[in-house]
């Protein structure tokens, strides 16, 4: 939806927290091991400056991501939320590492205005957690989920990964079963990827072969569906009414503001603009208002739009393209029709067929 000002009515706010207890060997996010005391007050002051400087609109969702936001105390989030103008019933998520649970209370996080928690569970197999360099055990994740529920949280996500070093299909499915038994509202189930410049890239662990990964996917999707977790995006599965509204801003090409070290933002209007903050926490703290803004060329917008919306199982209506980008639909339709003829995409909306969903990269390639 677009307002009379040309700004999207469903704007998300992403706030990045760039520190972790230690760096996981597979992780290429902007996260830095904490060597000294957490500069909590200093970072909060910087986030306030940054937010204020970007002239924030009303937000329909907020996502505190990392790094490890759960290293910060509830008062930091309360302070930020009091500075932002939130729509009624805005979704406010915080990512939490189960290994930081002893620091703060879930009751205090709930009272701060956070109403959704996303736990980095990754696996429930202690040997796998160790290989992934995680700082928590299987039991700590279970305790977090139980305590968060007891504190009153009604919207919980678990992040899990599959295709882990030395993992069998049965082990991957067991992780999913344990996760399902904990009754979260949402499960993000990611295939472990080896990212350049990570520790795993330097000394690659033995990963399951492709046909084992395919077996994990086929059986995992079935297991989740049987437990009433509907797949709505490549890695996202939700109980009815519990899709992640914040992530849907990315996947429907809606606007989002990025605040914090290395945070990205996007806004539409006459031109689609992307913003980026300094990645280094030190540089960010030095000048939190510094923002690099770049315009996306009209030739790049269609493919960027499709890269997001086609991740959604149901896609979006054709009308979403003009609404989100201000460009005419005619730019896309001839190539779209070729993909319709190949049985890869739907004729009446921006969505793939079941066959096309398995070949998403090939579909996108045709628009490059
Ligand atoms: C930004 S991370 C933050 C979560 C939190 N810091 C934690 O790890 O507990 C979000 C999620 O991305 C997933 N992830 C990170 N690196 C990945 C990789 N190389 N391959 C697949 N999934 C990955 C993990 O499941 C992780 O929980
Ligand atoms: S805790 Fe999360 S963000 Fe931090 S290094 Fe590990 S995966 Fe990355």
Segment 38-78, tens digit of pLDDT: 999 999 999 999 999 999 999 999 999 999 999 999 999 99
Q: Which of 66, 94, 194 to mutate to test the pocket of ligand 2 (most atoms within 8 A of CB)?
A: 66
**Cα gap 43→138, rounded to integer Å:** 31
CA atoms within 13 A on the CB side of 9: 6
Sign of the alpha-carbon dihedral angle for 52, 54, 60, 61: negative
How far away, in angstroms, is 120 Cα from ligand 1 center? 7
Is the per-residue pLDDT at 269 higher than 90? no
Q: Whose alpha carbon is nearest atom 25 of ligand 1? A: 159
Mean pLDDT of 231-253: 98
Q: Which residues line ligand 2 (CB under 6 A)?
A: 20, 23-24, 27, 29, 31, 66-68, 97, 120
How far away, in angstroms, is 99 Cα from ligand 1 center? 14
DSSP structural state of residue 296: P
How far away, in angstroms, is 31 Cα from ligand 2 center? 7
Q: Where are the domains of the chain?
A: 11-249, 313-368
Q: Which of 17, 19, 20 to mutate to test the pocket of ligand 2 (most atoms within 8 A of CB)?
A: 20
How far away, in angstroms, is 118 Cα from ligand 2 center? 13
**Cα gap 148→109, rounded to integer Å:** 9
> Would the CB of 64 count as within 6 Å of ligand 1?
no
Nearest ligand for residue 21 CA? 2
Give the pLDDT confidence score for residue 38 in this predicted structure.
97
Q: Where are the alpha helices (DSSP H) in the chain?
A: 40-53, 74-83, 106-111, 126-131, 138-151, 169-181, 199-202, 210-226, 245-251, 281-286, 301-309, 319-325, 333-341, 354-357, 360-365
Give the pLDDT confidence score for residue 2 in this predicted structure.
41
**Contact yes or no for 187/157 (Cβ under 8 A):** yes
**Cα gap 140→129, rounded to integer Å:** 12
Q: How confident is the model at residue 9 (pLDDT cuts 50, 70, 90)?
A: low
Assigned architecture for domain 11-249? Alpha-Beta Barrel (3.20)
pLDDT per residue as tens digits for the range 84-118: 999 999 999 999 999 998 777 999 999 999 999 99
Q: Whose alpha carbon is nearest atom 14 of ligand 1? A: 27
């Amino acid at each position: 939806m677009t307002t009379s000002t040309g700004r999207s009515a469903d704007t998300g706010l992403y706030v990045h927290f760039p520190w972790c207890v230690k760096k996981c060997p597979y992780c290429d996010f902007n996260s830095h091991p904490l060597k000294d005391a957490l500069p909590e007050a200093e970072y909060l002051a910087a986030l306030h400056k940054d937010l204020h400087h970007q002239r924030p609109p009303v937000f329909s969702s907020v996502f505190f991501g990392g790094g490890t936001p759960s290293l910060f105390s509830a008062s930091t989030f309360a302070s930020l939320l009091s500075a932002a103008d939130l729509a009624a019933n805005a979704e406010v998520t915080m990512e939490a590492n189960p290994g930081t649970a002893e620091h703060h209370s879930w009751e205090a996080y709930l009272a701060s205005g956070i109403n959704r928690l996303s736990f980095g569970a990754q696996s429930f197999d202690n040997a796998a957690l160790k290989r992934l360099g995680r700082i928590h055990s299987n039991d700590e994740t279970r305790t977090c989920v139980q305590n968060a529920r007891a504190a009153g949280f009604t919207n919980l996500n678990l992040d899990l990964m599959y295709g882990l070093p030395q993992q069998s299909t049965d082990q991957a499915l067991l992780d999913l079963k344990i996760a399902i038994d904990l009754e979260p509202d949402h499960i993000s189930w990611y295939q472990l990827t080896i990212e350049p410049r990570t520790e795993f890239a330097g000394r690659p662990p033995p990963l399951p072969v492709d046909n084992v990964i395919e077996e994990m996917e086929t059986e995992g999707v079935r297991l989740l569906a049987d437990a009433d977790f509907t797949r709505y995006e490549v890695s996202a599965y939700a109980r009815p009414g519990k899709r992640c509204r914040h992530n849907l801003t990315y996947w429907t090409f809606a606007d989002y503001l990025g605040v914090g070290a290395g945070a990205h933002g996007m806004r539409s209007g006459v031109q689609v603009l992307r913003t980026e903050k300094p990645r280094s926490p030190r540089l960010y703290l030095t000048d939190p208002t510094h923002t690099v803004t770049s315009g996306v060329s009209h030739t790049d917008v269609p493919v960027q739009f499709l890269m997001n919306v086609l991740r959604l199982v149901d896609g979006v209506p054709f009308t979403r393209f003009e609404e989100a980008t201000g460009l005419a639909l005619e730019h896309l339709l001839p190539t779209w029709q070729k993909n319709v003829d190949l049985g890869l995409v739907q004729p009446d909306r921006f969505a793939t067929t079941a066959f096309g969903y398995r070949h998403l990269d090939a579909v996108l390639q045709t628009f490059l």
